[in-house]
Amino acid sequence: MVHLWLRAETKLNEHRAALTPSACKVLLENGFHISVERSSERIFDDEEYEQKGCTLVPTLTWKNAPADAYIIGLKELPENDDSPLSHQHIFFAHCYKNQGGWKDILKRFIKGNGTILDLEFLVDEKGRRIAAFGYHAGFAGTALGLDVWTNQQLHPTQEFSKVEPYPDENVLIKYIQNRLDGAVAVHGRQPRIMVMGALGRCGSGAVDCARKAGITEENIIKWDIEETKKGGPFKEILECDIFVNCIYLNQKIPPFLTKEMLDEGRQLSIIVDVSCDTTNPNNPIPVYNVNTTFDKPTVSIETANPHPIEVISIDHLPTLLPREASDYFAKDLLPTLLELKNRESSNVWQRAEKIFKEKCALADS
């Protein structure tokens, strides 16, 4: 029997879940055993899982889980802990692309003889991810970009405040539409939005959000491989009000923007880095170096140009719509989770284990 142990997320303001109650119902019907750590932050109530037949367990007790349990979650493990890890963990580890601290994470698993089955690297034969939050990341990032732009027009001397999650997309869009109406009345026009990586999963979410908020098609500039094949930097970005970066970075590329460009005359006042490769040495937007949070969503960049520019670099944007994002993700992940019953014959899981071993060899060299 496959045992899944859903851990409580410890990242501040993280409300999503890797397993939803409806996904758990299907897994239980297929012979899985599921333990769910209690959580007051998760968008789904503990009772929703209990009603489906899951076993509720105390918060953050996953280290005491049975040795054969898969510990499943979304974001990073609790901070300030370098103890060895012995379980098989399914989560977004963010340590395969030379991010800050990547070796430290892997060495915990090496010492404990544990395994990372990284959600980002569960891919099919063509290398496409079988489940991702990209659509909702792009959607949420664009919503926040529009909200910050309206704040710049309506309250130019007031810092953008803390953001809370929304119960659903309709409530979020209605709020953004109302804010835009007021800002456009002051500014005299709609903002121009450039979406980089517009044809991907993340980019399509960004474009959909802009459209639903009422941004006209001529004010949504959609760039992808064809437009960027000449290589950056791209001065066209400076001609937009909001730049939304949605690319998936897997190799070094020329930067889209440089710090020097921001000193020039520009319309650009907001950068939404949905991709959020802040600590990646190949980050194509090397104009900032910190992640922002839902408590403090923006960071200002000092430039020689008096026109303000703010960056949104929240690395878990989909939690702005936690229920919808979790439902969407868990539905896509479910068929692959069912394959854990025969993991040795599942190409998806075998590929995930192979890349883990390859990265461990690099970290241990």
- How confident is the model over 288-316, as pLDDT tens digits? 999 999 999 999 999 999 999 999 999 99
314 marked as binding residue:
yes
108 marked as binding residue:
no
Show the tokens assigned to 54.
Answer: 């899951």
Q: What pLDDT is recorded for position 293?
A: 96
111 and 154 together in one domain:
no
DSSP secondary structure, 194-242, as one string: EEETTTSHHHHHHHHHHHHTT--GGGEEEE-HHHHTT-S--GGGGGSSE
Going 74 to 76 to 77 to 78, the CA torsion angle's sign is: negative
Per-residue pLDDT tens over the stretch 69-107: 999 999 999 888 899 999 999 999 999 987 888 999 999
Q: What pLDDT is recorded for position 249?
A: 76
- pLDDT band at residue 280, thresholds of 50, 70 and 90? confident
Do β-strands 310-312 and 299-300 pair in parallel, antiparallel, or remain unpaired?
antiparallel
273 and 329 together in one domain:
no
Q: What average pLDDT is seen over the chain?
A: 96
33 and 60 together in one domain:
yes
156 and 286 together in one domain:
yes
- Comparing 195-204, 271-280, 355-364, the range with the smallest average pLDDT is 271-280
292 backbone φψ class: left, alpha, beta (φ>0; ψ -120 to 50)? beta
38 and 111 together in one domain:
yes
63 and 36 together in one domain:
yes
- Does any domain span residue 127? no
- Does any domain span residue 271? yes
Side-chain half-sphere exposure of 230, counting CA atoms within 13 A? 6
Q: Which of 270, 126, 117 is nearest to 191 (CA)?
A: 270
Q: How many domains does the chain have?
A: 2
CATH number, domain at 212? 3.40.50.720
274 marked as binding residue:
yes
345 and 267 together in one domain:
no
- pLDDT band at residue 278, thresholds of 50, 70 and 90? confident
Catalytic residues: 75, 94
SS3 93: coil
187 and 261 together in one domain:
yes
116 and 191 together in one domain:
no
CA distance 318 to 330: 13
24 and 92 together in one domain:
yes
201 marked as binding residue:
yes
248 marked as binding residue:
yes
- Does any domain span residue 125? no
Query: What pTM was computed for the model?
Result: 0.93
SS3 295: coil
356 and 269 together in one domain:
no
Domain that holds residue 234: 133-320
DSSP secondary structure, 30-53, as one string: TT-EEEEE--SSSSS-HHHHHHHT
Burial 256-273 (b: 16+ CB within 10 A, else e): bbeeebbeeebebbbbbb
162 and 301 together in one domain:
yes
